[in-house]
Chain A
Amino acid sequence: MSGTGHANKKISKKALIAFPIVVTIVAGIIAPSSLALIGFLMFGNLIRECGVLNKLSLSAQNELASLVTILLGITIASTMTSDRFVRVDTLLIIALGLFAFVFDTFGGVIFAKFLNLFRKEGNKINPMIGACGISAFPMSARVIHQMGQKEDPYNYLLMPAISANVGGQIGSVVAGGIILTLVPLFA
């Protein structure tokens, strides 16, 4: 059972550069609220793939990513005062999040199995890949890769798993954008 059926397919440089630009435009048209998030995600992709901003790309991947993570953590932690955080609502939100992650993983595997019903023998997707279609990047892909290798040491699922994981990330951003657009309309 293959990961994607298109292992080691070569992609042109032009397509790699056009991809983040086109995705930003399309996502901006479909869910304008998601534009800032998807724009930054795709900007990172663009500076990596364009090939002329290697220094910026390396800084963004290493120092900048660590700095932003620390800053974000400190900012969030500073607003987590006991009167706001130590509440039953917090536990409910954590429970909802856990349910969402569990259902997302389960749903991904089931959907991959469903898609396999329509794919030819020998070109089927490993259903474990479906479990990576969530925004927990890159841990879910790593876990699936390790689980796959535990069953069969020649099972190399990392690349297709990462692809599904990025798809999950983009999907989550667009879902957030759609929800942010819809909620005020129904409020």
Chain B
Amino acid sequence: MTSTIETTLLIAGIGITGIFVFMAIFYLLIIGLDKLLPFEEVKPEE
């Protein structure tokens, strides 16, 4: 295996891991935002 392919696979590996880490953060971020700023029903004034 040439060093170029090895480097390519290394970059691809880091990139894919990075995406999974980012998507996990992204998921936690959405859950956090939903917990932090929950939906409140606005009652019409009578």
Chain A residue contacts of B10, Cβ below 8 A = 186
Chain A residues positioned under 8 Å from B15 (CB to CB): 175, 178-179, 182
Is A27 among interface residues, defined by CB-CB distance under 8 A? Answer: yes
Mark out the residues of chain B between 1 and 46 whose CB falls within 8 Å of any chain A CB in the assembled complex: 7, 10-11, 14-15, 18-19, 21-23, 25-26, 29-30, 33-34, 36-40
Known pairs A10-B39, A31-B18, A171-B19; A182 contacts B11 (CB<8 A)? yes
The main secondary structure of chain B at its interface with chain A is helix
In the complex with contacts A19-B30, A179-B11, A182-B15, A12-B38 CB distance below 8 A: yes
Q: Are A170 and B26 in contact (CB under 8 A)?
A: yes
CB within 8 Å: A-B pair count: 57
Interface size class of A (residues with CB under 8 A): 20 to 34
Give bound CA distance, A18 to B19, whole Å.
Answer: 22
Residues of B within 8 A of A167 (CB): 23, 26
Chain B residues closer than 8 Å to A15, beta-carbon distance: 33-34, 36-39
Residues of A within 8 A of B38 (CB): 12, 15
Looking at chain A's contact residues, the main secondary structure is helix
A84: interface (CB < 8 Å): no
A102 to chain B, nearest CB (A): 17
> In whole Å, how far is B41's beta carbon from the nearest beta carbon of chain A?
8
Question: Would A178 and B29 count as touching, CB distance under 8 A?
Answer: no
Q: Are B34 and A26 in contact (CB under 8 A)?
A: no
Task: State the Cβ distance, A36 to closest chain B Cβ, in Å.
Answer: 17
For residue B18, which residues in chain A have a CB less than 8 angstroms away from its CB?
Answer: 30-31, 174-175, 178
Apart from A26-B29, A186-B7: 15 A-B pairs, beta carbons within 8 A: A10-B39, A12-B38, A14-B37, A15-B33, A15-B36, A18-B33, A18-B37, A19-B33, A23-B26, A27-B22, A170-B26, A174-B19, A182-B15, A186-B10, A186-B11
